[in-house]
């Protein structure tokens, strides 16, 4: 009986990989929202506020994940530019794991919502395994 409940719980927290297939475009970042509404941001001069807001806008406009069978094309922000990367991906329960190709780098995300049109992720800190509080929210583009 205990084994049955463990199986049910595992199935509840297990992600259906088929739902991840396709292209997901970032439309909202709670981290960016928290920064833009912070007191520290409000204390910056107008030029600094504008520069940071433009950077966030550039990231939101260019950030995506495109999941194929076992590979993913995705973007990152480096040296003030959006760059396109490729990696291998898999899920482990409610965790999305992406390993970059051509670089020893693995990033983990907690999947907090996944359905046909929405994907919400929380980054997992690679140093200590703690889940960040803020979500990145994506909409399906297919």
Topology (CATH level 3) of domain 19-140? Lipocalin (2.40.128)
Tokens standing for residue 119: 């994907």
Domain boundaries, the chain: 19-140
Dump pLDDT digits (tens) for 24-76. Answer: 999 999 999 999 999 999 999 999 999 999 999 999 999 999 999 989 999 99
Helix (H, G, I), strand (E, B) or coil at 80: coil
- The dihedral sign for the CA sequence 116, 67, 112, 7: positive
Q: pTM for this one?
A: 0.85
pLDDT of residue 137: 98
> Would the pLDDT of 15 be above 80?
no
């Amino acid at each position: 009986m205990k084994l049955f409940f463990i199986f049910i719980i595992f199935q509840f927290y297990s992600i259906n990989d088929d739902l991840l297939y396709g292209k997901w475009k970032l439309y909202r970042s709670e981290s960016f929202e928290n920064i833009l509404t912070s007191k520290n941001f409000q204390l910056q001069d107008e030029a600094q506020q504008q520069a940071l807001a433009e950077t966030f806008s550039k990231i939101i406009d260019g950030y995506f994940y495109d999941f194929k069978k076992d590979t993913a094309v995705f973007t990152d922000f480096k040296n003030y530019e959006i760059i396109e990367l490729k990696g291998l991906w898999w899920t482990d329960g409610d965790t999305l794991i992406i390993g970059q190709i051509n670089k020893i780098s693995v990033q983990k995300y907690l999947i907090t919502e996944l359905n046909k049109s929405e994907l919400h992720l929380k980054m997992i800190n690679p140093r200590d395994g703690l889940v960040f509080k803020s979500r990145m929210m994506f909409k399906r583009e297919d």
